[in-house]
Structure 1
């Protein structure tokens, strides 16, 4: 399967069919990064809901929603949408508001796109899975990292004929893990829950299911290093670099095959080191490799007013919303951002909550 398929997009008003959509949430993240994706998706935004009525009306004016609500159940009953988008926050006890909201939406007959995190426990994910099967409605989580063009291309490189099997993977991401005594408290684990979905999604997308894992934790900054054995046989590590400089690029991903490897820096700079012969040792006068085996560099330009150098595309927001909408319109099953993918990430989250450092846990 080819994951990265460049294509020319339609604008919202050019679609022959659009999905009747409602939106729950009118906060800053939704305003900046999710509502604007509808300019390129088959979405007819008819209503939105937020507990703050003035904020709801302000966002509705900007993005063309016809009506606003402060009660999401009233909106679902009145509007009867095809799809519901949910971008909300946390409950006072640290649970994810969107989990229950997604349940209400599918019971009302709508498919759901929800921002991560999907839930705060494996059990809650399993409840959503059962509800999705019962209602026949799909629930997608916004795992944007798996829609980065550079990460999608990594997946294609891994699947390519010259890469060989994936043998190891390394993911770096700046996130602290709270002290052991705080990990039972969801509010103290909020940042970790919010962000483990990013490197966790990349690991699952590129390397598949985890077989076992062990980690070491550093108390000054909360950094950690985790080692993995994947069911595919590959090994890997995740370095959560809580102490890194805040002005630096956030992340790095490296995948290694058999005589080939590839690296994504800063989410958008990809180098593919293709299989090649080492120049004659002790005699070669140049490091320049033949063109058919030389490394390939992919990097966007940021001069033209193109879609691809807009962060809604480089950060995967438009591609993930398009995948959801096009899947619903075609009456097919989601292939990314699935509850199964969220289930594995939640198992990883619970691993850190319940396992002591230095102990190997099976998944």
Structure 2
């Protein structure tokens, strides 16, 4: 990995929104990326100016449009509310800028469609960090092995719920747990199993429950909506089943590949038979040293998603991963899930 100061070519970058998330996660991650932070914009003058001073900038701007007019930028990072993302993305595209958007990309499929219509030849990436986790990258490698076979099923556990609703509630675009958190595991499921064809949600009384997706590939995935799990304690899991093989991701920091063992049900006496060609292989973050691979911005995928965006900008190539078309798929699942109350909602009808 190369640090910011070591890159020969860098993207001239503006940031819109320097609130808590941006300040804690986006700005510090630029230390490791090919980017020069040129300008920031935030409605809060005091917050914006204080952040600008910290990063060696003379001033901040009150609006994105003002920043675009005054500065020479290549790209912008948008980190505001999902209600504001569509308008700000359209403005950035009109200004000729490449755009990275924090999730949620918006509040509806219509929001994403409006951005796609305005995108032109500009590059856009949405911050579905789970797609870029090192554990997810390893999972894709393992799922591609001939010995793994086709992905049959996959399950996930994540502390979230999906509200009940209809077209009117979707159009209102209010806040909910799925938009804040649930788009992350949903994006990971889609990135590993492919686009969704049908969606169903079975809810408990508190809107927790299970989200079930039948993918176009034939794979079936499920997401346990563990809304009442202990707050800020380890709960996140993903389990993938192939042909006599499985992959498990635990809390973003551990991934295990299970190959099975030679075993006789009636006479077997050991779970650890001789040799290295069977059983499980585990990779996990080690917290004994203050090295980069253990930091949350790396294990959670923040570094990966931003690096991918900046690499695309520098290379002048469209985003093949986590772009607006993919964001539309994620939002389609959300809208179908909101409408479902145990019934199967067919997404393919909309695609036709």
| Interval containing the TM-score (normalised by the shorter chain) | over 0.9
Hey, what's the Cα distance between the residues in 2 that align with 1:62 and 1:317?
21
Aligned residue number for residue 43 of structure 2: 51
**Which residue of 67, 79, 89 corresponds with 2:81?**
89
**Which residue of 9, 13, 29 corresponds with 1:21?**
13
Aligned residue number for residue 144 of structure 1: 129
CA RMSD, Structure 1 to Structure 2 (Å): 1.7
Give the deviation of 1:172 after TM superposition: 1.1
Aligned residue number for residue 30 of structure 2: 38
**Which residue of 85, 94, 112 corresponds with 1:107?**
94
Hey, what's the Cα distance between the residues in 2 that align with 1:280 and 1:227?
35
Give the deviation of 1:129 after TM superposition: 1.2
**Which residue of 254, 258, 262 corresponds with 1:278?**
262
1:78 matches 2:70: yes
Paired residues in the alignment total: 345
Q: Retained in 1: the 8 A contact 2:166–2:339?
A: no
1:326 matches 2:311: yes
Hey, what's the Cα distance between the residues in 2 that align with 1:196 and 1:240?
9
Hey, what's the Cα distance between the residues in 2 that align with 1:209 and 1:281?
39
1:149-184 deviation per Cα after TM superposition (whole angstroms, max 9, x unaligned): 111111111111210000001011111233548981
Hey, what's the Cα distance between the residues in 2 that align with 1:297 and 1:350?
36
3-state DSSP class of the match of 2:278? coil
Aligned residue number for residue 209 of structure 1: 195
1:226 matches 2:211: yes
Hey, what's the Cα distance between the residues in 1 that align with 2:168 and 2:236?
24
Aligned residue number for residue 350 of structure 2: none
1:259 matches 2:244: yes
Aligned residue number for residue 194 of structure 1: 180
Query: Unmatched 5+ residue regions in structure 2?
Result: 348-352
Aligned residue number for residue 316 of structure 1: 301
Give the deviation of 1:46 after TM superposition: 1.0
Deviates more, 1:206-215 or 1:245-254: 245-254
1:220-273 deviation per Cα after TM superposition (whole angstroms, max 9, x unaligned): x32021222111111121111112121431311000001000111111111110
